[in-house]
Amino acid sequence: MNKNKFCQSCGMPIKKDPAGGGTNADGTKSDKYCSYCYQNGKFLFSGTLKEFQDFCRKKMMEGGHSKFIAWLFTRGMGRLERWKTK
Protein backbone atom coordinates (compact mmCIF):
# COMPACT_ATOMS: atom_id res chain seq x y z
CA MET A 1 0.00 0.00 0.00
CA ASN A 2 1.30 3.43 -0.92
CA LYS A 3 2.03 5.62 2.08
CA ASN A 4 1.50 8.75 -0.02
CA LYS A 5 -2.00 9.44 -1.25
CA PHE A 6 -0.66 11.69 -4.00
CA CYS A 7 2.23 11.41 -6.45
CA GLN A 8 5.11 13.49 -5.11
CA SER A 9 5.95 14.67 -8.64
CA CYS A 10 2.61 15.63 -10.24
CA GLY A 11 0.15 15.51 -7.35
CA MET A 12 -2.22 13.02 -8.97
CA PRO A 13 -4.01 10.74 -6.52
CA ILE A 14 -2.15 7.41 -6.62
CA LYS A 15 -5.51 5.60 -6.59
CA LYS A 16 -6.25 7.20 -10.00
CA ASP A 17 -3.11 5.63 -11.50
CA PRO A 18 -4.18 2.56 -13.53
CA ALA A 19 -0.81 0.94 -12.75
CA GLY A 20 -1.10 1.64 -9.01
CA GLY A 21 2.15 3.60 -8.90
CA GLY A 22 5.47 3.92 -10.66
CA THR A 23 8.31 1.42 -10.45
CA ASN A 24 11.69 1.60 -8.79
CA ALA A 25 14.90 0.46 -10.52
CA ASP A 26 14.55 -2.98 -8.89
CA GLY A 27 11.02 -3.40 -10.26
CA THR A 28 9.20 -2.79 -6.97
CA LYS A 29 6.33 -0.31 -6.77
CA SER A 30 7.28 3.23 -5.85
CA ASP A 31 5.49 4.51 -2.76
CA LYS A 32 6.05 8.14 -3.85
CA TYR A 33 5.42 8.47 -7.57
CA CYS A 34 2.79 7.51 -10.16
CA SER A 35 3.51 5.52 -13.30
CA TYR A 36 3.01 8.60 -15.48
CA CYS A 37 5.98 10.29 -13.75
CA TYR A 38 8.29 7.47 -12.69
CA GLN A 39 9.27 4.15 -14.26
CA ASN A 40 12.25 1.85 -13.71
CA GLY A 41 13.70 4.22 -11.12
CA LYS A 42 13.72 7.25 -13.42
CA PHE A 43 11.53 10.29 -13.96
CA LEU A 44 9.95 10.36 -17.41
CA PHE A 45 10.03 14.18 -17.59
CA SER A 46 13.36 15.88 -17.00
CA GLY A 47 12.50 19.57 -17.44
CA THR A 48 12.04 22.34 -14.91
CA LEU A 49 9.06 22.66 -12.57
CA LYS A 50 7.50 25.35 -14.79
CA GLU A 51 7.95 23.20 -17.91
CA PHE A 52 6.41 20.23 -16.09
CA GLN A 53 3.46 22.33 -14.91
CA ASP A 54 2.86 23.52 -18.49
CA PHE A 55 3.10 19.93 -19.75
CA CYS A 56 0.62 18.67 -17.11
CA ARG A 57 -1.84 21.51 -17.77
CA LYS A 58 -1.79 20.68 -21.48
CA LYS A 59 -2.35 16.97 -20.79
CA MET A 60 -5.21 17.73 -18.39
CA MET A 61 -6.92 19.97 -20.94
CA GLU A 62 -6.47 17.28 -23.61
CA GLY A 63 -8.20 14.94 -21.16
CA GLY A 64 -11.22 17.22 -20.92
CA HIS A 65 -10.40 19.41 -17.91
CA SER A 66 -10.94 23.16 -18.15
CA LYS A 67 -7.99 25.54 -18.28
CA PHE A 68 -8.89 26.78 -14.78
CA ILE A 69 -9.06 23.28 -13.26
CA ALA A 70 -5.76 22.36 -14.94
CA TRP A 71 -4.14 25.50 -13.48
CA LEU A 72 -5.68 24.85 -10.06
CA PHE A 73 -4.34 21.31 -9.86
CA THR A 74 -0.82 22.20 -11.03
CA ARG A 75 -0.20 25.41 -9.07
CA GLY A 76 0.88 23.60 -5.88
CA MET A 77 3.40 21.25 -7.49
CA GLY A 78 6.34 23.20 -6.07
CA ARG A 79 5.41 21.92 -2.61
CA LEU A 80 5.71 18.26 -3.64
CA GLU A 81 8.78 16.29 -2.60
CA ARG A 82 10.32 16.08 -6.07
CA TRP A 83 10.26 19.84 -6.60
CA LYS A 84 11.08 21.17 -3.14
CA THR A 85 14.35 23.05 -3.14
CA LYS A 86 16.85 21.56 -0.72
In order, the DSSP letters of the chain are --S-SB-TTT--BGGG-TTSS-B-TTSPBPSS--TTTEETTEES--S-HHHHHHHHHHHHHHTT--HHHHHHHHTTGGGSTTT---
Domains identified in the chain, total number: 1
Q: What does the pLDDT read at residue 17?
A: 95
pTM of the model as a whole = 0.86
Residue 86 lies inside a defined structural domain of this protein: no
pLDDT, averaged in runs of 10, over the chain (86 residues): 80 94 96 96 96 96 97 95 82
Range of the structural domain that residue 62 is part of: 14-79
Residue 33 lies inside a defined structural domain of this protein: yes
Q: What does the pLDDT read at residue 76?
A: 93
Residue 2 lies inside a defined structural domain of this protein: no
Q: What does the pLDDT read at residue 2?
A: 46
Q: What does the pLDDT read at residue 3?
A: 64
